[in-house]
Each structure stands twice: as C-alpha cells, then as structure tokens.
Amino acid sequence: MYRLNVARLREIAEKRGDRSAYAIAKRTGVNTSSAYRIASGETQPDLISALRIAEAYDLDIRTLMDRVDDEEDEPAGAAA
C-alpha cells in the first residue's frame, strides 16, 4: 500500500511558493476542499488527484508516495 507523504508535499509546494492548501489547489486543479483535506493529512488523494499533484510540481508520483505496510489489507489467514 502507498500513502502520500504530506510533509514532502508541503515542502515541495512551499519551494514553489505554494504555502497553503488553497495555493496547492489552484496550481494542481484539485478541488479546494480536497486539497485542504489532503494537505492536512486527513485523507489520501485518489489516483487522479495524486497524478495531478505530481504533474503540477513536475515530479514522478513516486516522489510523493511512501510504501507502507498495512496488515488490514491482507486476506484473512494470510499472516503467518
């Protein structure tokens, strides 16, 4: 599973002069309320939003994402 690294997003956005979720929304085309929730870490972006963010900041999407273990996503009985 992958999760957006919010701290990395905010750092990259600030380097481009985008110091608020509103500025991130304006640059990326992501809905303003979604950008606020994403930038605060309240929610994860859907694939389209993540791609828009990466493209707007001229990044490979993997730059913004961290791989995380999520045991809840394993099928029942998969854990040994």
pLDDT of 23-51, one tens digit each? 999 999 999 999 999 999 999 999 999 99
What's the predicted TM-score (pTM) here?
Answer: 0.82
Q: What local confidence, expressed as pLDDT, does residue 80 receive? A: 46
Type of residue found at 13: A
Q: Put residue 77 in one of left, alpha, beta given phi > 0 → left and psi -120 to 50 → alpha.
A: left
d(C-alpha 2, C-alpha 25), whole Å:
22
Residue 71: the pLDDT is: 62
Q: How many CB atoms lie within 10 A of CB 59?
A: 14
- pLDDT for 52-77, tens place per residue? 999 999 999 999 999 998 765 555 55
Q: Collapsing DSSP states into helix, strand and coil, what is residue 2?
A: strand
First to last CA, the chain: 19
